[in-house]
Chain A
Amino acid sequence: MAELIRNAWLGWIRFTQDGKIAALFLAALLFLQMRPKKAVKGSFVLYAAGMAACCMVPVTAAALMLYQTRFYDYEWIWSLVPVTAVTAYGFAEFLTEYWKDFKGSLWRRGLPVALLLLGVLLLCGGLGKPGWSRWEEAQERKQAQLLIDGIRERLGDGQIWLWAPESVMEYARELDGGICLVYGRNMWEPALNAYTYDIYDPSVTELYQWMGQAGEALPSGEGYEEGCAAVRRCAETVKAKGVNCILLPADAALDKVAELEAALGARTARLEGCYLLIL
């Protein structure tokens, strides 16, 4: 329970640090509460105030987090609070208080208030600036598409069992449902593990780690043998898992590529700068 309460407190900090919509919502709520009771939908405003209080107090927030199941983070308990609706409700009431029926004759008083509200909104939110880089992701997907098209061209319509860098595996199943992967996105995105009870063998995890370090040359001296043994272990796993297509990144260390070629008895070809091994 203490952990849950701590998560609730950290969640509240996360929720309020990026934008200030929560502050805007509370201001709207305060304004609506101060309005004459007959002028507002009392039960709606009362509900919003009560639920917002429950989301802010760590103990009740922890109880709400248990209610919404542990599948979702703290931020999602705010789904229970009509933040957008109450804020817009407050806006509409506030603006029409100063600009009755939007009459043209009252624009001198109403227009500045409307602009002020717009300004407050601009300052409190991110206004169209998404929280992640769409462009970067689109570029990565485009690159992955090129590589997958190249592999498909070489292997035809047959089944593809792929082992590739994270940047390709990330999009492979999205771009082509016919491709099977030795491990999926849940390897580096733990939230996705909630969708399955399957867990990866340590040998598969080793494949992921090895691919992540494919750009580093085999160590010299004492570590060299261990490095070669790791390559051979990966080759064994790949064979055992039925992988028939391996893609190594363009910056893969040449000695590792050669070692893998030798362990699998296959020849590499170049595809968009990457190393491709068809087994």
Chain B
Amino acid sequence: MDVRRSMKTGKKYLIGDYLIGGGFAIVGMAEAAHLTAVFLGRPFSDCTVIWLALQAALLVAAVGHGIVRRCRSGMAGRTGRHFLAKFGIADWMLCAVLLLVIVSQLAFILAAGDGYRQGDMTVETVNSFLETNEVYSVNPLTGMPYTGGMPLRLKILCLPTLYGSICSLTGLAPQFVVWRLVPVLTLLGCYLAYGLLACSLFPENGKKRGCFLVAVSLLLWAENYMFCMDGFGVLSCGFRGVVIRNAVLLPWLFSLLIRKKWIAALPCIFVEACMVWTLYGLGACAAVTAGMAAAGFAGKVYTAGREAA
């Protein structure tokens, strides 16, 4: 990974950025399909078709973008073998420990069964969409038509449509998709996001990056005791919007902001608004961006003051 050069120029995005960005683009597509169903009254099956069509367009655009970038930068990329040749025993040890912990966490998610569902009705909602072929036509908790309706801010959140579309395309059961498949993807996304954050924090030291990731992996286990902790979220309810935000979106955002990619914060704010109940779109991502900008400014003022003194 050409981390150091990318950090120095501050322009390049890393492969991980594209992977996470692509993942969240899929969420954005699901939001478009979901809003079509909510506001135009389209059946849920149409949502799936729209989501699929938008994904196909995204795939074509991504492949086209990749080809253009490859042509512009030339074909001489660094190979994986070149990268691995620099690995020492310590790097392999860190990789092995990290892999072991990740595998144990994947096994925990897959084997432990059902996710933490207190205060959540995702599976019921997905079941309702699939059963009625409509979006929020019935109360997911009872199966009966709404009498008072539901808050619009919740109605426009797209994750149930995303999960339902995966179910209807693959034929998988909602319980499997919501409690196993999505949490596994969230866990992998979490490590990718923390990997990028490690690249931002230690652009010139691969061993520190490895050590940071091992510490993150152990912390995720250690934090599996309380609802709002990152570890609990990732290991016990990785399907919830707040967990995806905390475990994937925010570490990625910190990584982007440390690399001073301020514009990239805008899609993060949008994606959060699609998944989590925020204050008119102003959620954690917006607060983090503002906070990081303020911290950067305060740091500069402090440094300038010290130099002047």
**Interface of A toward B, CB cutoff 8 Å:** 15, 18-19, 21, 37, 41-44, 46-47, 50-51, 64, 67-69, 71-73, 75-76, 78-80, 82-85, 87-89, 91-93, 95-96, 101-104, 117-118, 121-122, 124-132, 134, 137-138, 141, 173-174, 176-186, 189, 191-192, 194-199
CB distance from A145 to the nearest CB of B (A): 11
* Chain B residues touching A, majority SS: helix
A130 x B295 contact (CB < 8 A) = no
Inter-chain pairs besides A82-B251, A85-B194, A183-B142, 5 sampled, C-beta below 8 Å? A87-B215, A92-B212, A127-B224, A138-B114, A174-B117
Residues in B whose Cβ lies below 8 Å from that of A195 = 121, 140-141, 150-151, 154
Residues in A whose Cβ lies below 8 Å from that of B131 = 177-178
CB interface residues, B 116-171, toward A, < 8 Å = 116-119, 121, 123-124, 127-128, 130-131, 139-144, 146-151, 154
CA distance A268 to B21 in the complex (A): 57
| A interface footprint on B273-301 (CB within 8 Å = 1, 0 otherwise) | 00001110011100110011011101100
CA distance A121 to B218 in the complex (A): 8
Which interface residue of B108, B208, B251 has the most chain A CB atoms within 10 A?
Answer: B208
Residues in B whose Cβ lies below 8 Å from that of A177 = 124, 127-128, 130-131, 143, 174
Task: Out of A91, A125, A174, name the residue touching B175 (CB < 8 Å).
Answer: A174
| CB nearest to B128 among chain A residues | A177
Can you name 27 A-B pairs with beta carbons within 8 Å?
Answer: A44-B258, A46-B299, A47-B288, A68-B284, A76-B242, A79-B250, A82-B250, A84-B223, A84-B251, A85-B197, A88-B212, A91-B212, A103-B90, A125-B223, A128-B108, A130-B232, A131-B224, A131-B232, A138-B113, A177-B127, A180-B142, A181-B144, A184-B141, A186-B141, A196-B139, A196-B146, A198-B148
| A interface footprint on B176-218 (CB within 8 Å = 1, 0 otherwise) | 0000000000000000001001001110010110011101101
Q: A126-B224, A174-B175 are in contact. Are A68 and B279 (CB under 8 A)?
A: yes
A75 x B221 contact (CB < 8 A) = no
A80 x B254 contact (CB < 8 A) = no
